[in-house]
Amino acid sequence: MDLTVVSYLLYFAFTVPLTIWVARTLYRHGRVFLFDVFGGDERLATSVNQLLVIGFYLLNLGYVALFMASGSTVTTGRRLLEVLSAKVDGVAVVIGVVHLANVWVFNTFRRRAIGRARPVTPAAPCRPTPTPRCPPGRRCLRVRGCRRLRRPRGDTGTRAPAWSGAARRSGR
């Protein structure tokens, strides 16, 4: 038997089980992630998970079959291991890239779903209370819970109000 044929058989012997193992592992552990992405809809998460595994098999086994052929002749055991290593490494990188792309896409879906599902809480009513730094004779009000200061009545806003930080820094 020619060593090139042996390299093809060993290539299949390594890459097909690697693809099957990664697909089963992703199916088993990806179910929880997809359940979270789809807001607790178990049927949808399971269906999408199965479709992803089928697509994973088709893409990776197609890649394995497409890049099985080698342009170099294999005459020694050393060359056999070099060719086999390069091909298995290529398959492992493609599997990793496909996995990262899937995780990135579904994490994007998850972030969007979390953003849409976040409830909008109404703001607490703002109640004016006197501020301790208000100059004598002026009625400065601080709005509790709103973190902003209201201008006193009659202040047009053309100059820095006495209660602002700019007025304190300028010495007014």
Chain segment 119-131, per-residue pLDDT in tens: 656 655 555 555 5
Query: What Å distances lie between residue 160 and 29, 31, 147, 166, 170, CA to CA?
Result: 60, 59, 18, 6, 10
Chain segment 36-82, per-residue pLDDT in tens: 888 788 898 899 889 988 988 998 888 888 888 777 788 888 888 88
pTM: 0.57
Check if the beta carbon of residue 7 is closer than 8 Å to that of residue 70: yes
